[in-house]
Amino acid sequence: MCTVTIIPGAEGAGYRMLCNRDEQRGRVSAIPPAVHRVEAREAVMPVDPAGGGTWVAVNGAGLGLTLLNLNLPTEQMPDRKGRVSRGGVIANCIGCESVAAAADRLEGLKPNLYMPFQLVVVGEEELVVLRSDGGDSEMTRVRRPDQPWMITSSGLGDHLVEQPRRELFDGWFERGADEWGQRQDAFHRHFWPDRTQLSVCMRRPDAKTVSLTSVSVDAGFATMGYVPGPPDRTEQNVKITIPIRREVPE
């Protein structure tokens, strides 16, 4: 369960991606972001102790990835038996140098290993969404959006939260691009007191928004910020920056 938005970076260079993570209240807290060595590259990511994987990462090539559950109608959901954690999906391509290289590698991913998911891969010029229903997968490749972009999910059913969050999102970014950064921050902290379960910063008796992760990439650096709690009530306490090196390090 997540809400992810992407906006172009300052003066059209790079991008900024924000990710609300919504989880069951009893789930163990994530390990905050740190720098990890993945293949030949540095990558910054938090880690989920329950599965050992992650839901969001950025690497030293400026490649950003985030993973959302895909919540299909109950009768369409596959059996969980024999499936491994979706948190391992990002590990398959976080060592890549580009969106194209990640997409090539994802072509070999076996969707029947995981429960349904949507994986977003974004770089300087391109954005890819891999959608898997747990049996088959489909990849959508688009030019990196020059307008604000959103994808969202919910354990209540993705179809229930898509419309209200989409309408809020579309109205939120009607003004000029000079305000998009501030509006993106505010959007991810938005809370409807009378529709708490549908809010971007959501709350239900069994689940809530547990963190907000930001990824900012420009020509020289990739930065991850992390809010380790409901973002409308918690301050950022982690900020990590790594240099971008397009060539493969020795």
What are the tens digits of pLDDT across the range 202-239? 999 999 999 999 999 998 999 999 999 999 999 999 99
Domains of the chain in sequence order? 2-243 (3.60.60.10)
pLDDT band at 13 (very low <50, low <70, confident <90, very high): confident
> What pLDDT does 174 receive?
84
pLDDT tens-digit readout, 22-75: 999 999 999 999 999 999 899 999 999 988 899 999 999 999 999 999 999 888
Question: Taking every pair of C-alpha atoms in the chain, what is the biggest distance, in angstroms?
Answer: 55
Compute the distance between CA of residue 70 and CA of residue 135 in angstroms, rounded to an integer. 12
Q: What is the pLDDT of residue 248?
A: 58
Residue 233, pLDDT score: 94
Q: Which residues contact 168 (CB under 8 A, 6 or more apart)?
A: 187, 190, 200
What local confidence, expressed as pLDDT, does residue 26 receive?
Answer: 92
CB 69 within 8 Å of CB 19: no
Tell me how crowded residue 132 is: count the other CB atoms within 10 A of its CB: 24
Alpha-carbon gap, residue 175 to 184, rounded angstroms: 12
Total residue count of the chain as it appears in this document: 250
Does residue 249 have a pLDDT over 50?
A: no
Beta strands 15-24; 2-8: pairing state: antiparallel
d(C-alpha 181, C-alpha 179), whole Å: 6
Give the separation between CA 131 and CA 117, rounded to whole angstroms: 6
Indicate the pLDDT class of residue 247, thresholds 50, 70 and 90: low
Candidate ranges 3-17, 79-93, 163-177, 185-199; pick with highest mean pLDDT: 185-199
Task: Compute the average pLDDT of residues 172-183.
Answer: 87
Answer whether residue 88 shows pLDDT above 80.
Answer: yes
